[in-house]
């Protein structure tokens, strides 16, 4: 802005707009960094604080039977698309019940619905070729994870977000056909997306395997919790 003062021009510039612009720039910068931290910190912290607790020496399930196979797809809400190792879906287990419930007190999961071959948006999903709860074999259950800031044990979109916080001896309860089965965690591990060994069966006793995507909110790897039925 030019201003005439006693026979000469003096150039002045408005200060307030510059201050406002500078403040807005800093505000946007801080906001962007905050959003980046909001999204990235859960993943970074997971690698630093959860991964060191994972024991890669979990009991490996040995296949006893493995039926006709179907190639996986890419739908993140369909467990068949969670493992990129190719042909992984075994013959379906014939069950009189298509739903049952699962509870994990430590994670505040209370009577979550498990549907055989269901939709992860609406429930936990039991792998169709896995053993029935309480039976000899491996009952395999999938659940979604999401960013910890958004997760709730009552919301299936992130119900297994904190699954890898479980430790040896923690309790898992399954209510199937009016019978409550008590499992205790044996071990946990993290596998690559192409490691389908966790879907195989062994029949020396009754197991349950819980699977989710890790780090929470990503599709990079698979977190595995293996538990064994407590027989009275």
pLDDT given at position 100: 96
**Hey, where are the domains in the chain?**
10-49, 51-229
Give the pair of three-digit tokens for residue 119.
């939709």
Cα angle, residue 116 at apex, residues 118 and 81 outer, rounded to 5°: 55
Q: Considering just the CA atoms, what is the radius of gyration of the chain in Å?
A: 26
CA distance 211 to 219: 12
Per-residue pLDDT tens digits of the chain, which is 232 residues long: 554 555 555 555 555 566 777 766 667 666 666 555 555 556 555 555 555 666 544 333 333 333 332 333 445 666 666 665 544 444 455 566 789 999 999 999 999 999 998 889 999 999 888 899 999 999 999 999 998 888 899 999 999 999 999 999 999 999 999 999 999 999 999 999 888 888 888 899 999 999 999 998 888 899 999 999 998 7
pLDDT of residue 210: 97
Residues 6+ apart with CB under 8 A from 44: none
Predicted local confidence at residue 12, as pLDDT: 55
**Closest-CA residue to 147 (of 36, 67, 13, 25):** 36
Question: Between β-strands 206-214 and 137-142, what pairing exists: parallel, antiparallel or unpaired?
Answer: parallel
The third-level CATH classification (topology) of the domain covering 51-229 is Sortase; Chain: A; (2.40.260)
In degrees, rounded to 5, the angle at the alpha carbon of residue 104 between the alpha carbons of residues 93 and 159 is 80
Position 118 scores a pLDDT of: 86
β partners of residue 225? 188, 210
Q: What letter would DSSP give residue 195?
A: -
Peptide bond into 215 cis (omega under 30): yes
pTM of full prediction above 0.85: no
pLDDT for 107 equals 97
According to the model, what pLDDT value does residue 5 have? 53
């Amino acid at each position: 802005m030019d201003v005439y003062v006693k026979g000469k021009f003096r150039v002045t510039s408005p200060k307030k707009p510059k201050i406002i612009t500078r403040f807005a720039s800093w505000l946007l910068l801080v906001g962007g960094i905050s959003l980046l931290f909001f999204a990235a910190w859960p993943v970074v912290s997971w690698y630093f604080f959860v991964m060191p607790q994972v024991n890669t020496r979990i009991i490996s399930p040995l296949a006893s039977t493995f039926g006709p196979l179907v190639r996986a797809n890419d739908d993140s809400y369909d467990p068949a698309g969670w493992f990129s190792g190719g042909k992984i879906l075994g013959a379906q287990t014939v069950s009189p019940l298509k739903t049952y419930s699962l509870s994990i007190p430590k994670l505040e999961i209370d009577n979550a619905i498990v549907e055989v071959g269901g939709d992860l948006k609406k429930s936990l999903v039991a792998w169709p070729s896995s053993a029935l709860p309480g039976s000899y074999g491996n009952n395999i259950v999938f659940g979604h994870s999401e960013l910890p800031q958004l997760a709730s044990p009552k919301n299936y979109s992130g119900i297994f977000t904190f699954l890898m916080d479980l430790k040896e001896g923690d309790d898992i309860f399954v209510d199937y056909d009016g019978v409550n089965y008590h499992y205790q965690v044996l071990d946990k591990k993290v596998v690559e997306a192409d490691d389908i060994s966790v879907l195989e069966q062994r029949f020396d006793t009754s197991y349950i395997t819980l699977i989710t995507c890790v780090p929470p909110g990503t599709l990079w790897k698979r977190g595995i919790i293996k538990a064994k039925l407590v027989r009275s």
